[in-house]
Homo-oligomer: A and B are copies of this chain.
Amino acid sequence: GLIGGSIALEIKKQKLAHQVVGYNRSKKGREIALRRGGCDQVYSDPREAVRGADLVVLAIPVLKIPALAQQIGKALQPGTIVTDVGSTKENLVRKIHKIFPSEVIYIGGHPIAGTEQSGMEAAQLELFEDRWWIFTPIRSDAKTKNGIRKLKILVENLGAKFVQMSPQEHDHALAAISHLPHMIAFSLVDAVLKEKGGKFLKVSGRSFKDFTRVASSSGEMWGDICLDNRSALLKMMDHFEVSFQTLKKLVSQGDHRKLENFFYNISSVRKKLS
């Protein structure tokens, strides 16, 4: 899809690997991968795709990764580095470590990149430029450390900024900076549709469109993320509700000084993010 395809295109373009081999369950996906030049070969059987590989990147929706890991486990050669790009990490990393033979070096990963589009057709060069790429290893043996070192070099070559944290910290961070904003964007579009059937969408400008762009993301993927990161997400949704209700109360009271202070304090923090 978008992420796996973009990784492949960039690796091929920069000649970072001798060979890039793809797997896609759909014939159309396989054809696009070859046509766009992201892969040297593409297989419909993931076991064939991973045979002899030094590095395997599992780039499919997060809830489907364990089943794929199960399929390829025995086809991986000892010492292969495996990572994934799943949007949530805590449950996944625990499951994957149980599935893979111990000679496989698995290190969970997540590039904070992507667009509201999906599919190999949307794959693009420079998708990872200046984006965070989080890795969530839970082992600290020499082989894992070596694997992390190699992945760091790879993603920095792809233009990304490497960062390492625990799977739990990853999920809490993503609930805050990504999953909550997505829930908000979906809710905002829903709220505007509630008022006169959404007629005001007609005059929406660039800022409203930018603000709600993520609300055109895949329903399936967001269903997965909500289930897989439910507790961290609900915690952040609770925080947000408290903040929003506080503000609503200030608007309702109509005290200009209090409103101005509320906005001023937040904008001071936000400005520092540039």
Chain A contacts to B: CB under 8 angstroms: 112-113, 130-132, 134, 163, 172-173, 176-178, 180-181, 183-196, 198, 200-201, 203-220, 222-224, 226-227, 230, 233-237, 239-248, 250-252, 254, 256-257, 259-264, 266-267, 269-271, 273-274
Could you tell me the distance in whole angstroms from the C-beta of A117 to the nearest C-beta in chain B? 10
Contact flag A187-B230 (CB < 8 Å), given A177-B192, A203-B134, A203-B163:
no
Residues of B within 8 A of A243 (CB): 187-188, 190-191, 194
- Inter-chain contact B177/A269, CB cutoff 8 Å: no
Nearest CB in chain B: distance from A164 CB, A: 11
B183 and A244 within 8 A (CB): yes
* Bound CA–CA A204/B175 (angstroms): 11
Residue A177 contacts which of B131, B205, B262 (CB distance < 8 angstroms)? B205
Given A187-B247, A212-B270, A241-B248: A131 in contact with B206 (beta carbons within 8 A): yes
Residues of B within 8 A of A216 (CB): 267, 270-271
Copies of chain A in the complex: 2
Distance A22 CA – B96 CA, assembled complex (angstroms): 67
A218 to B191, CA, bound (A): 25
Cα-based distance from A259 to B224 in the complex (angstroms): 9
Which residue of chain B has the shortest Cβ distance to A210 in the bound complex?
Answer: B210
**In the assembly, what is the distance between CA of A177 and CA of B252, in Å?**
19
Chain B residues positioned under 8 Å from A196 (CB to CB): 172
> Contact check: which of B193, B262, B263 meets A269 at CB < 8 Å?
B193
Known contacts A195-B236, A244-B237; decide if A266 and B205 are in contact (CB<8 Å): no
Give the distance in Å from the alpha carbon of A220 to the alpha carbon of B151 in the complex: 47
Residue in B closest to A240 when the chains form the complex, CB atoms:
B191
**Distance of A196 Cα from B131 Cα, bound (Å):** 23
Q: Which of A209, A215, A219 has the most CB of B within 10 A?
A: A219
Task: Compute how far the CA of A274 lies from the CA of B210 in the bound complex, rounded to whole angstroms.
Answer: 10
Most B-side CB within 10 Å, residue of A194, A243, A260: A243
From B176, B223, B246, A260 is in contact (CB under 8 Å) with B223
User: What separation, in Å, do the CA atoms of A192 and B205 have in the docked complex?
Assistant: 26
Known pairs A191-B242, A193-B269, A222-B260; list 20 more (Cβ under 8 Å).
A113-B205, A176-B192, A177-B205, A178-B208, A180-B191, A180-B192, A184-B188, A186-B266, A189-B270, A191-B239, A191-B243, A194-B242, A207-B214, A218-B263, A219-B260, A219-B261, A223-B260, A224-B256, A226-B251, A230-B254
